[in-house]
Structure 1
C-alpha cells in the first residue's frame, strides 16, 4: 500500500485536523475523524514498510534480516529516521518511523493496564494518579482489541471486563505447557498470552504461521500493525496520508492557538499545512522534541510548556530476561513472538520486598540458530571457542525465556531535550535522551529475575541463564508530556488537550503520568479512541484559529 491515492488528491488548504505521526494513535484518530466527516491530513516522516525486504519466510532469514529491520534508528538510518543522542542514557530508544509506527516491529504483546496502574499515588504514595480510571477505558479496550485483531483467552480475573477478545490465543506450545506446570507447582499466576496476532482471518489480517519472527516484519500479514489494520480503509474513506513529510514546527497565532505545521516534503521543500486542530502522535521522544522545537515570543521554552514539564519524566521500562534450558525438546525455534504466557504474580506493590510497584512477565520462544548467540536474551556471555557448538546445541529448540517488564517511576531527571550536537538531515536539532535507571527499578528487576529463575527451575530447566538489564530495550517511551487536571503540574488534560493551546492535542504514550508495568500499546490505543471521540463530540465548542 502506498500513498498514491493521497498524492492524486489535492490537500485541503485548511484541514479540519492535522495529525503528526501515522502510528497506532495517529491511525486511530484519523479513522474516527474521517468517519465523522472531518477532513484529515496526516503527515508521516517515514514511508510505508516494504515487506518484500523481510525474509522471515525464507530459510536464510537470520542471515539476511539486515539493518533495514533494526529497531534502532541510529543503526537503521532509514527514510524518516532522525538521530537520537543517547550518550547519557543507559537504555536505547527503539522506534520505527513509518506508516504503522512502532507497531510494525513490536512483538504485539497486548496487555491492558491493571486498575491499580491508574491509582499509584492513592495506593503507594508516589508519582501521580491518572485523571481517568480503568473502568473509563474498558469499553474502548474492547473496541480497539477488535480493530487490532487481538487473540487471547477471555476471563483473566486480573482484568475486569476483559472478556471480548475476538480470537482464541496463539498456541502456547510445549514451552508454555512446561512453564505453566512449573507455575502450577508454585501456586503462581499465569495466563495464555494475549497478542495482536491473528489466529484466523480477521479483517485485513491473515492467520499467524508461527514463524517466531514478529520483530523483523510479519510477511504473513498476521500481526495487528496500524499500516494493515487501519490505514487502508481510512485512506479509502477520504483521509490524506502524506509520507516522507518531516514536521519541524507547530505554528500558532497571536491568540496562542495552533494554526498548523511546517514540514519538509520528500524532496526537501519546506511546506505548511494549516489546520483547525493539530494532533501530535509522534511517540514519547518525537512529540516532546517537536514541542521544544516550536518556540516563539510567547513560549520561548517550547510550545505547551508553561509547566516546564515538556520532555520531563521519561519512563522506559527497564527490562531483563531469564532463559531456561531444558534437556527435552520444546520446539522453541517457532511460535508467536508475541508471548506464549504472561504472569502477574509479582505485579502489585509489596513493601516488604524493598521497592514499590511490580513487573509483568512474558514467556517467549528463543528463535533459530543465530538467536542463540544474541545479547537478548542471553546477556552476551562469552561462549566462543571450544564450547560454541555444544552451547548452541543445548539452547536451540530447548529453551524458553521470561522477559521481565518493570514499572518505571517518573523522575524529572530522566528527560528528553534538544541535542546541542546532533541534527537531522534538515539541520533540525535531534532529541537527546538523559536516562538513568532508578534504584527502585533496579531492586524491582533484581527481585523478579530471581523469581523467574525459581519459575524455570520448578518447570524442570537443567540450566538457567539470567541476563541483567539489557540496553537495547527502549520499546516503551512514556511520560514526557504528562496529563493531569492542574496546568501548573501537567501539559495536557485527561483528554489529551494541551492546557496552554486549546486546539493542540497529544494522543500518544507521552501523556502517561505513570508507566504501569505493561506493554503500553493497548492502553495507548484505547486512550486515543476515547480522546478523539470526546474531541468529535465537543467539536461545536472547540476553539480554533480565527
Structure 2
C-alpha cells in the first residue's frame, strides 16, 4: 500500500518549498539532484495538457473565461481573489504546477548589465547586490535546462554561449519589420524563446500554432511541469498539490521550523522543515509573509525593514498594431517573439523620462482578438466589426511594448484581514499607479513603434495608451540587498531576519528591467539552490 501523502511523517523534509511555479521548480530540481529531501507544496493542480484549448475552435473564447490569465476571472481551484481595484494594472498569473510558464509566451531575455546598476547609471531605483557578470554562468545553465532557441551575437547584449537551438522561423511580418528597422538604422534581432526549434530532450519542435497563451498542446514550449518536475521527482522530490500554505512558523529560537497548510481534504496541518523556500511570486509571497505575523514580527514575517510588499512593479504594457495590404499569415507562429528590439531600452537624453522599453513582435491572433482590440472612434458591431477583422486577420504586425517601471514605495501589496479566501486566508490588495516617468515612456515608445511599422510598409497603425489587463510580471515586493534595514533578503535570497527562510521568486528583484523576467528569476533561483547546497554541506 502506498503511503498517505498527508501522513504526519511524510509532511516533513529537509527543505519545504512553497510554490511549484518557475522558481520553485528550478530550486526543487537542483536540490533533488544534489540528494536533498525536498517537499514542495502547491496550492493548484497539475495541468492536464489534454485540456489545453489551442487545437480547438474555442481557443480564443476560452481565453476570456476558464483559460484567462487573470485569477479573478479564471477562478480555478488554486486561485485566490486579488483586490486590484486600486491598481492601474491587473495581475496575470497561473496558480498550479508550472505556474506562469503554463500560460506565458516564453520570450526568453536576459537582463542587460545596466539593469543591475540603475542608480549608478541613471540616478534612479537602486543598484543590485549582484551584477550581470555574477549571474551570467547561471543564465548559461538555465538556457540549457529550459531549451532556449535563438540567434547568438546580438550587438545590444554581452557575448554569451550559443543558444542550445537555432532560432525559430522568422515570420513574414518579422522579415518586414527587420527590413524596416534596417532602413531606420534601429536595433532589431531574431527572437530568443524557451520554445524548441528542433527535437530537444524528448520534446518535439514547435509547430507554429500561435496558441502558447493557453498552454502548449505539443510540449514545445518550456513549461516547468514537463521539464523540471519529472527530473525532480525521479530524484526523490515530493510534490503535494491542492495544498495552500497560510503561514510560515518559527521555533523558540526564531528559526524557521515549517509551514502551516490546508490540504485538499480541508484539514489544517504543519509541514516541518529546517529550511523553507518561498516561491509564490511577488503577490503571493508578500501575502504569505504579511499573514505570518507574530509577537516577534507584528508587521509580517521577515519585515523588520518594513519593505515586505513595497516597491511592487508590474511592467506597464501596450501594443502598436500595423495593418498591411498583403497577406502575412500573422495569425500563426510562436506566441513568443519572432523579433525584438532594444533600440529604446536604455536612457536617452531629452525624451522626458529615464530608463526604457523593450519591444517584441509576435503573432496577431485570431478574429476575436481583432474584434476586441480598442479601435478608436469605431463601433465594434455590424459592418464596422467585419471590416476590422478583415483588415487585421493575417495582415497585421503587433509590437508589444514592455516598459520598465521604477520601484516606488507606495506601489505595494497589502492584506485585508477582514476579507478571506475559501481557506480563511486574508486576500491581497494591490496599490499601483503609473508614474509620470512610465506614462512618458509609454507615449514615446508607442510613437516610435508606429514609425517602425510605417517604415516596414504598414498602411495604417493603431495604439492605445495602456493595456491594463496585461500585468504579466509582478516583481519587487521582497527586494534583495546587502543592508537589512532597506531589504528583505540578502544577495542569495536568504532572509536577513529569519534563519532558514529563503525567497527565490520575482519578489526579490531590485529593479524590473524592461526585459521579460523569467530567465533572470530562474537564474537567481538556481543560484540560491547552489548556495544552499554549498553552505549546508549537501552534495
TM-score by length of 1: 0.95
Q: 1:178, 1:9 → 2: CA distance?
A: 60
> Per-residue deviation at 1:157?
2.3
> Per-residue deviation at 1:237?
1.2
Specify the alignment match of 1:517 in structure 2. Answer: 514
CA gap of 1:465–1:421, structure 2 versus 1, over 3 A, is farther
Specify the alignment match of 2:196 in structure 1. Answer: 198
Is 1:498 paired with 2:504?
no
Specify the alignment match of 1:266 in structure 2. Answer: 264
Give per-residue Cα distances to partners, 1:267-307, cap 9 Å, x unaligned: 11101100010000000000010000001111111100000
Q: Secondary structure at the match of 2:288?
A: helix
Specify the alignment match of 1:168 in structure 2. Answer: 166
Give per-residue Cα distances to partners, 1:110-140, cap 9 Å, x unaligned: 0000000001010011111000111111111
> Per-residue deviation at 1:11?
5.5
Specify the alignment match of 1:410 in structure 2. Answer: 407
Give per-residue Cα distances to partners, 1:60-94, cap 9 Å, x unaligned: 43345562211000011101100000110010011
Q: CA RMSD in A?
A: 1.8
Q: 2:237, 2:301 → 1: CA distance?
A: 27
Specify the alignment match of 2:426 in structure 1. Answer: 429
Indicate if the aligned counterparts of 1:204 and 1:229 stay in contact, CA closer than 8 A.
Answer: no
Q: Secondary structure at the match of 1:534?
A: helix
Match of 2:150 among 143, 149, 152: 152
CA gap of 1:379–1:526, structure 2 versus 1, over 3 A, is farther
Indicate if the aligned counterparts of 1:6 and 1:240 stay in contact, CA closer than 8 A.
Answer: no
Give per-residue Cα distances to partners, 1:381-407, cap 9 Å, x unaligned: 633232221221111100010000000
Indicate if the aligned counterparts of 2:416 and 2:426 stay in contact, CA closer than 8 A.
Answer: yes
Q: 1:126, 1:531 → 2: CA distance?
A: 27
Q: 1:328, 1:214 → 2: CA distance?
A: 25
Give per-residue Cα distances to partners, 1:331-366, cap 9 Å, x unaligned: 101001011100000011113111000000001110
Indicate if the aligned counterparts of 1:214 and 1:337 stay in contact, CA closer than 8 A.
Answer: yes
Specify the alignment match of 2:486 in structure 1. Answer: 489
CA gap of 1:423–1:464, structure 2 versus 1, over 3 A, is same
CA gap of 1:11–1:96, structure 2 versus 1, over 3 A, is farther
Deviating more after overlay: 356-365 vs 66-75? 66-75
Deviating more after overlay: 435-444 vs 195-204? 195-204
Q: Secondary structure at the match of 2:383?
A: coil
Indicate if the aligned counterparts of 1:323 and 1:378 stay in contact, CA closer than 8 A.
Answer: no
Deviating more after overlay: 55-64 vs 525-534? 55-64
Q: 2:64, 2:431 → 1: CA distance?
A: 28
Which aligned pairs between 1:438-517 and structure 2 lie closer than 5 A?
Answer: 438-517=435-514
Q: 2:11, 2:41 → 1: CA distance?
A: 14
CA gap of 1:60–1:310, structure 2 versus 1, over 3 A, is closer
Indicate if the aligned counterparts of 1:140 and 1:530 stay in contact, CA closer than 8 A.
Answer: yes
Is 1:531 paired with 2:528?
yes
Is 1:400 paired with 2:397?
yes
Q: 1:521, 1:531 → 2: CA distance?
A: 15
- The unaligned stretches of length 5 or more in structure 2 are none
Q: Secondary structure at the match of 2:119?
A: helix
Q: 2:257, 2:95 → 1: CA distance?
A: 25
Q: Secondary structure at the match of 1:259?
A: strand
Specify the alignment match of 2:380 in structure 1. Answer: 383
Deviating more after overlay: 531-540 vs 482-491? 531-540
TM-score by length of 2: 0.97
Q: Secondary structure at the match of 1:482?
A: coil
Q: 1:346, 1:101 → 2: CA distance?
A: 30
Give per-residue Cα distances to partners, 1:306-341, cap 9 Å, x unaligned: 000000000000001100000011110100101110
Indicate if the aligned counterparts of 1:205 and 1:223 stay in contact, CA closer than 8 A.
Answer: no
Give per-residue Cα distances to partners, 1:217-245, cap 9 Å, x unaligned: 11011110110110011111100000000
Which aligned pairs between 1:220-235 and structure 2 lie closer than 5 A?
Answer: 220-235=218-233
> Per-residue deviation at 1:57?
1.4
Deviating more after overlay: 492-501 vs 382-391? 382-391
